[in-house]
Each structure stands twice: as structure tokens, then as C-alpha cells.
């Protein structure tokens, strides 16, 4: 009787190979087929067996190697042909990784799915940059939002950021101006501290800090490129050097 393969939705973490989970590393080493995102580095792909088939489905803003529906079909097709498939994603598969869509498609086709969690981009960026997303004196609530979603201007973000809260924005580099304008229109103070974390947990990581009103200028002046996260809240200014720099900027 023909055997159906399993689709493994595997989180590769924020980038470095040594931040993979053991389960993720073992699946990569033994996989026959690996369908991977563009953010997966050569050090991680280098774990794959020499005979493994590596399929890139890299996505960039407004330009995808394959539309998501075609990726879903590719995974199901390979599994129905009897092959186990590792779907390798940066961060965690279920946090802005479209893993939920892929799992639903697979299950509808009768294909078994296993999810292997990874260190999310937000967790990895926070730890690598020294920013505690929660802090007893500054934040007891954390929200994650996508900065490139449809209908951004119509969404209600009021209450997501402010005193006692931290807001983490994924995929917000290209829409930084709209994000700042939206948050201030929803009542957030222009002087709210922010941080932009580029290439989190990688050797080339940069942590840029400033104020909400200056977010668009900061992104432009520093030529910030994806992958990058925007963190908004008092937790981004907990150290004395940052507090002094922000106070100086506010006074100008």
C-alpha cells in the first residue's frame, strides 16, 4: 500500500545554526526534501544530507518565487508521493510564518503534519539586543503585529502600545512612516521610545534606538533593510545610556 509522507513545519529560529532546536537539526540532517525560505542561511542548509533536494521558495515584498497557494500544493504533492518534507522557516512556523495555512491544506489532503517550534524573531531579537519585552517595572503586556498587512490604515491599534505595554512589529521597515503616523493618530505619544533591530542574533546585527516620531527618519537615515523588527515601548530605553540619548533627542 502506498505510504504518504509527513510534512514537518520546522522553525529555524532567528538565524544562527546553534539556535536551532535539536529536533529541527535532526530533521534537517535526515530530510529527503527541504522546502526553505530565503532567510535560511547556508550554515543551516549545510546540515542537510548531500542527496537531499533543496527547494527555495524565497519571498520578498511584492515578489514571491512561488505564491503561497503553490507552496501549499508543492508540500502536499511531495508528501503524497511518499516523501517526508521539511518545510523550513525562519523564526517559528506559527508566528507570521503562514504555517497555519500550510497545515490546514495538508490536513485537508489527508497528509500528516508535525510542527517543530523555533525561537521566534521577536524572542531572538529581544534576547540578542538586551531588550526585555516584559519587565516588572515597564511592561506586562506584549503584542505582535504585522506591518505589511492589508488594510493597515483601517486597523485599530489603539491600546497595543503605551504605558505598561510593548509592541513588536514584524515586516514594518517599508511602512515605518505609516506605522508611526498611525500609532500617534491612535494616541501614542511621539516621544515613546523605540528600537529597530536589524539581522537579530546574527554577527551583523544592529540595534537602533530613538523616538516614535523619528522612526521614519531613523529607518531612512540608517538604510535599514529586512529582516528587521520594530519594538515600541519603555522597555527599549531601560539602560542609562539609552535614556540619556533619548532625552537629548527629545530636547532638540
Annotated active-site positions, please?
37, 59
How far are the Cα atoms of 60, 95, 159, 210, 237 from residue 156, in angstroms, in the given order? 26, 20, 9, 24, 25
- How is residue 141 written as a grid cell? 503586556
Q: What order of strands is seen across the sheet that includes strand 7-11?
A: 53-56, 33-36, 85-89, 7-11, 113-116
Buried b (16+ CB within 10 A) or exposed e, 199-213: bbbeeebebbbbbbb
Do the beta carbons of residue 116 and residue 141 sit within 8 Å? Answer: no
Neighbours of 10 (CB within 10 A): 30
Residue 227 Ramachandran class (φ > 0 left, ψ -120 to 50 alpha, else beta): beta
Amino acid at each position: 500500500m502506498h505510504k504518504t509522507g509527513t510534512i514537518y513545519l520546522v522553525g529555524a529560529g532567528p538565524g544562527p545554526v546553534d539556535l536551532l532546536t535539536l529536533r529541527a537539526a535532526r530533521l534537517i540532517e535526515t530530510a529527503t526534501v527541504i522546502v526553505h525560505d530565503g532567510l535560511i542561511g547556508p550554515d543551516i542548509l549545510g546540515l542537510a544530507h548531500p542527496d537531499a533536494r533543496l527547494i527555495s521558495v524565497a519571498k520578498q515584498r511584492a515578489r514571491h518565487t512561488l505564491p503561497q497557494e503553490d507552496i501549499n500544493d508543492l508540500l502536499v504533492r511531495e508528501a503524497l508521493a511518499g516523501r517526508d518534507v521539511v518545510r523550513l522557516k525562519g523564526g517559528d512556523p506559527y508566528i507570521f510564518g503562514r504555517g497555519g495555512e500550510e497545515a490546514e491544506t495538508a490536513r485537508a489532503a489527508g497528509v500528516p503534519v508535525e510542527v517543530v517550534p523555533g525561537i521566534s524573531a521577536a524572542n531572538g531579537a529581544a534576547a540578542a539586543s538586551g531588550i526585555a519585552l516584559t519587565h516588572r517595572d515597564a511592561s506586562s503586556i506584549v503584542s505582535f503585529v504585522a506591518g505589511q498587512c492589508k488594510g493597515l490604515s483601517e486597523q485599530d491599534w489603539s491600546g497595543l502600545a503605551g504605558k505598561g505595554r510593548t509592541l513588536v512589529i514584524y515586516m514594518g521597515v517599508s511602512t515605518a512612516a505609516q506605522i508611526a503616523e498611525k500609532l500617534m493618530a491612535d494616541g501614542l505619544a511621539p516621544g515613546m521610545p523605540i528600537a529597530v533591530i536589524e539581522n537579530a542574533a546574527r554577527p551583523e546585527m544592529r540595534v537602533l534606538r530613538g523616538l516614535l516620531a523619528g522612526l521614519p527618519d531613523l529607518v531612512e537615515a540608517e538604510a535599514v533593510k529586512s529582516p528587521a523588527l520594530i519594538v515600541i515601548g519603555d522597555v527599549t530605553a531601560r539602560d542609562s545610556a539609552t535614556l540619556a540619548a533619548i532625552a537629548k533627542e527629545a530636547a532638540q
